[in-house]
Amino acid sequence: MASKISQGVEKVVTMASNGITDKKHADLHRDTVNIHDNKHFSTTDFGTKVATQDDWLRVVNDGRTGPSLLEDQIAREKIHRFDHERIPERVVHARGAGAFGSFRVYESAEDVTHAKVLTDTSRTTPVFIRFSTVQGSRGSADTVRDVRGFAIKFYTEEGNWDIVGNDIPVFFIQDAMKFPDIVHAVKPEPDREVPQAQSAHNNFWDFQYLHSEATHMFMWAMSDRGVPRSFRMMQGFGVNTFRLINKDGISHFVKFHFTPTLGVHSLVWDEALKLSGQDPDFHRKDLYEAIDEGVYPKWKFGIQTLPDSRQDDFDFDILDATKIWPEEDVPIRYIGELELNRNIDEFFTQVEQAAFCTSHIVPGIDFSDDPLLQGRNFSYFDTQLSRLGINWQELPINRPGRHRITAGKVNYWPNRFEAVPPVPPSEGGFNSFPEKIQGIAERLKSKKFSEHINQAQLFYNSLTPPEKYHLENALGFELDHCDEPIVYERICDRLRDIDLELAKNVATLVGAPVPEKEGRPNHGKKSKSLSQTYFMPSEPTIASRRVAILIGDGFDKATVKAMQTSLKAANAFPFVIGVRRSTIYGEGEDKSSSSAGMMPAHHLEGMRSTMFDALFIPGGSHNQTLQKNGRAIHWVREAFAHCKAIGAMGEAVELIKTAIGSVDKVKLASVGEQGVIESYGVVTAGKSEASGIGEMIKMLKGAKDFAGAFF
Ligand code: HDD
């Protein structure tokens, strides 16, 4: 174990001191101390070295412990710092994880913007990203059903630009003034403070019914998008409509898109539920692991733009954040790439203190009159004050190119030195788009804001059968947790407006009156990119997929080694899971030989199949032991039920049969029922190691996510 610890330390030392790749990294590095370089000692906050961290100064009389002395400023300071070390958690998106990376455009968007970050193809812009869940507290679990935050800070040479987006392209409400209501409705109920980090309760669904504008978004949140496999496998959307301004001062409306190169993938609900308890840090660990292993998460960056003249061309208002701009009408133009390539060094100062504001934009980008965005521009800026204090923009993670000590004789403008002058727009000063505004002050929105169902139908129609089935079950789960009939009955009634079959099935599940007539005819339209299956990478990949290899004494070691090599070559992460975490010996090995055996990373009880994407069991006499091991059987059954790829070779085929019955029979049964299983993979092979491994890798690459159907 000692060597493991020292390896960890080496990693920290490397991260904090080497490989400075960009200006923001260099800026943070100036303020970074590395506690493992043996140059640092315990000191007070005012810099004096301390002789003990353990004993409060006290009166000792004849060897007896007397009262502690108030004059011990060292002990008092330690307790004082501890008493105040928590800052208020974010009112929403309290739980998150972050990483650093870079952004670059490969195609200039200069026809629509003069923002250098979007036009200069020779530039690499440092970024910091924070992913989050929305509902839960800081200590809640990663895999709850929820929207995920996707907030990016671009440290551009013209100042910081923040896109504070989500993994779902629309929002629950149209007007920022409703935000406190939706948040109060989804957070734990006020009387007993339950449930934590869940929308499955009366108040959330009560709100959804009373705001039909939320219908589109709740359909997304109840779909597989609500339980992503990884932050790295989610889309990111700016959600709101912004403006881009080109060098001639012409404005275009714009929506921002990030599309993951690994494709969009989800957990099945049963996995998500179990992981919440088994590994509440599943998503943040997944992010750190991929970056540590050098399989850097990447997204294509795209824009949808519309000239001002097309503002009224659609049957929805393009400033309404509860609507998408269907790609068939407004294609996405992919112009750049975002990559995450560096892990954080300290969570508190880098992730907790990160503050994003939709109002942080740079020249060439501007706001639209999207009523949600307008309110957000106030809210983010405002909330940072109570979370971080007035100097929040000076904190290392948030500061742009500014220095923290400003030397000079004046601190006002204009001044006799003409120091710190404003910059005219022609030289890069920010200039707001001169939008012509005329009207009457009223608490109203345009008429098109009142249509709420068309795009909810469009979304539902565009899903594949397994996705629809998952959505139905998700609604069934959520409404089962609502115990007031008025709440679940009304939602089932609303579902009639989207699809009668869906409404019937959910109503049957949750005990609401089963409707016989649709509420609104379904227009039958679809849009291709709303199903997440649309984003499968063109080249199948298993990069960063976690594969568990189960072994006991008597396993076929040569095959395991070959499998590890093949998986690593494909950038997948193999983990050997033993019956115990100490050397496990291969079939016929001489235990006295120094090269005998294999050290597993974990043991069967320490992990669960849910933490891995696939399972491989090599041949060998170990299968006789595994077949009698309840936990090993459970691993196989559970992985099978979650439709993970399972590979078994030689004698391991018997283990599979013991766990899940005759493979062929199960296959038929699974494919038949409901017609929702697209594929599931169990590959078994005889002794021929090479072909078995090849088949297994092929199956892994082709494995579809939607196979995990019956939960
Ligand atoms: Fe928000 C945080 C995303 C509407 C008010 N929001 C927050 C974060 C994300 C979003 C990703 C976490 C930022 C971080 O990692 O620090 N919010 C959205 C999206 C919205 C949205 C995509 C709809 C388009 N939000 C929204 C509205 C309001 C807020 C309408 C208020 C009127 N959001 C906040 C906030 C938070 C926040 C209360 C909490 C912590 C913070 O801002 O910094 O001000």
pLDDT in tens, 65-90: 999 999 999 999 999 999 999 999 99
| 33 and 130 share one domain | no
Domain count, the chain: 4
Sign, CA torsion 311/316/320/326: negative
Give residue-wise pLDDT tens across range 265-281: 999 999 999 999 999 99
- Rounded Cα distance between 326 and 459, Å, is 10
Query: Is the pLDDT confidence value at 370 over 70?
Result: yes
Protein residue closest via CA to atom 18 of ligand 1: 165
Q: Between β-strands 573-578 and 602-603, what pairing exists: parallel, antiparallel or unpaired?
A: parallel
ipTM: 0.99
| 52 and 144 share one domain | no
Return the ∠ at Cα 488 (arms to 485 and 489), rounded to 5°: 75
Query: Is the pLDDT confidence value at 617 over 60?
Result: yes
Q: What is the mean pLDDT of residues 189-215?
A: 97
Query: Of 533, 550, 567, which one is at a domain's C-terminal end?
Result: 533
- If you measure from the C-alpha of residue 380 to the centroid of ligand 1, how many angstroms do you get, rounded to a whole number? 7
The reply to whether ligand 1 has any atom less than 6 angstroms from the CB of 216 is no
Give residue-wise pLDDT tens across range 644-684: 888 888 888 888 888 887 555 444 333 333 322 333 456 66
The reply to whether ligand 1 has any atom less than 6 angstroms from the CB of 179 is yes
- What is the domain extent for residue 33? 2-83
| Torsion angle defined by CA atoms of residues 668, 672, 678 and 684, in that order, rounded to the nearest 10 degrees | -10
Task: Tell me if 430 is assigned to some domain.
Answer: no
Q: Which amino acid belongs to residue 542? A: I
Structure tokens at 515: 């409707």
Omega of the bond leading into 414 within 30 degrees of 0 (cis): yes
Task: Tell me if 529 is assigned to some domain.
Answer: yes
Query: Of 423, 447, 475, which one is at a domain's C-terminal end?
Result: 423
H or E segment to which residue 334 belongs: strand 333-342
- The mean predicted confidence, pLDDT, of the chain is 90
Omega of the bond leading into 67 within 30 degrees of 0 (cis): no
Instruction: Tell me what pLDDT residue 699 has.
Output: 67
Per the listing, tokens 């909330």 go with: 383
Q: Between β-strands 125-133 and 148-156, what pairing exists: parallel, antiparallel or unpaired?
A: antiparallel
- Rounded Cα distance between 322 and 299, Å, is 24
- If you measure from the C-alpha of residue 92 to the centroid of ligand 1, how many angstroms do you get, rounded to a whole number? 7
Q: How confident is the model at residue 24 (pLDDT cuts 50, 70, 90)?
A: confident
| 43 and 109 share one domain | no
114, 160, 166, 283: which one is catalytic? 166
Task: Tell me if 690 is assigned to some domain.
Answer: yes
Which residue from 494, 551, 621, 363 is spatially nearest to 502, judged by alpha carbons?
A: 494
| 580 and 681 share one domain | yes
Task: Tell me if 451 is assigned to some domain.
Answer: no
- If you measure from the C-alpha of residue 96 to the centroid of ligand 1, how many angstroms do you get, rounded to a whole number? 13
Give residue-wise pLDDT tens across range 683-695: 666 555 566 677 7
Instruction: Tell me what pLDDT residue 29 has.
Output: 87
By CB atoms closer than 10 A (0-12, 13-18, 19+), residue 45 is: exposed
| 403 and 471 share one domain | no
Protein residue closest via CA to atom 26 of ligand 1: 376
**Residue 96, beta-bridge partner list:** 132
- If you measure from the C-alpha of residue 618 to the centroid of ligand 1, how many angstroms do you get, rounded to a whole number? 48
Which range of 8-12, 31-35, 139-143 scores highest in mean pLDDT? It is 139-143
| 26 and 151 share one domain | no
166 is catalytic: yes
| 134 and 283 share one domain | yes
Between these two residues, 527 and 649, which has the higher pLDDT value? 527
Query: Of 491, 516, 533, which one is at a domain's C-terminal end?
Result: 533
Q: How many CB atoms lie within 10 A of CB 94?
A: 19
- Rounded Cα distance between 400 and 396, Å, is 9
- Rounded Cα distance between 414 and 467, Å, is 61
Protein residue closest via CA to atom 38 of ligand 1: 91
Task: Tell me if 416 is assigned to some domain.
Answer: yes
- If you measure from the C-alpha of residue 539 to the centroid of ligand 1, how many angstroms do you get, rounded to a whole number? 35
| 65 and 178 share one domain | no
Q: How confident is the model at residue 92 (pLDDT cuts 50, 70, 90)?
A: very high
Instruction: Tell me what pLDDT residue 2 has.
Output: 39
Phi first, then psi, for residue 623 (nearest 5°) are -65, -30
93, 265, 283, 360: which one is catalytic? 93
The reply to whether ligand 1 has any atom less than 6 angstroms from the CB of 358 is no
The reply to whether ligand 1 has any atom less than 6 angstroms from the CB of 683 is no
Phi first, then psi, for residue 348 (nearest 5°) are -65, -55
623 is catalytic: no
- Rounded Cα distance between 107 and 302, Å, is 10
Binding residues for heme: 380
- Rounded Cα distance between 65 and 44, Å, is 25
Residue among 379, 384, 387 whose CB has most ligand 1 atoms within 8 A, to mutate? 379
- If you measure from the C-alpha of residue 317 to the centroid of ligand 1, how many angstroms do you get, rounded to a whole number? 22
pTM for the whole structure: 0.93
Query: Is the pLDDT confidence value at 463 over 50?
Result: yes
The reply to whether ligand 1 has any atom less than 6 angstroms from the CB of 135 is no
- Rounded Cα distance between 147 and 154, Å, is 22
Task: Tell me if 709 is assigned to some domain.
Answer: no
Q: What is the CATH number of the domain that holds 260?
A: 2.40.180.10
Which residue from 27, 28, 153 is spatially nearest to 98, judged by alpha carbons?
A: 153
| 69 and 104 share one domain | no
Between these two residues, 92 and 667, which has the higher pLDDT value? 92
Q: 295 with 571: CB under 8 angstroms?
A: yes
Residue among 87, 89, 90, 377 whose CB has most ligand 1 atoms within 8 A, to mutate? 90
Q: What is the mean pLDDT of residues 251-255?
A: 98
Give residue-wise pLDDT tens across range 623-636: 999 999 999 999 99
Q: How many CB atoms lie within 10 A of CB 300?
A: 17
Query: What is the radius of gyration, based on Cα positions, of the chain?
Result: 28
One DSSP character per residue, 174-230 reads SSGGGHHHHHHHHSSPTTT---SS---SHHHHHHHHH-GGGHHHHHHHHSGGGSBS-
| 570 and 526 share one domain | no
| 40 and 107 share one domain | no
Task: Tell me if 667 is assigned to some domain.
Answer: yes
Which atom of ligand 1 lies closest to the CA of 166? 22
Residue 135 CA, distance from chain mean position: 13
Which atom of ligand 1 lies closest to the CA of 240? 24
Percent of the chain with pLDDT over 90: 79
| 523 and 558 share one domain | no
Task: Tell me if 456 is assigned to some domain.
Answer: no
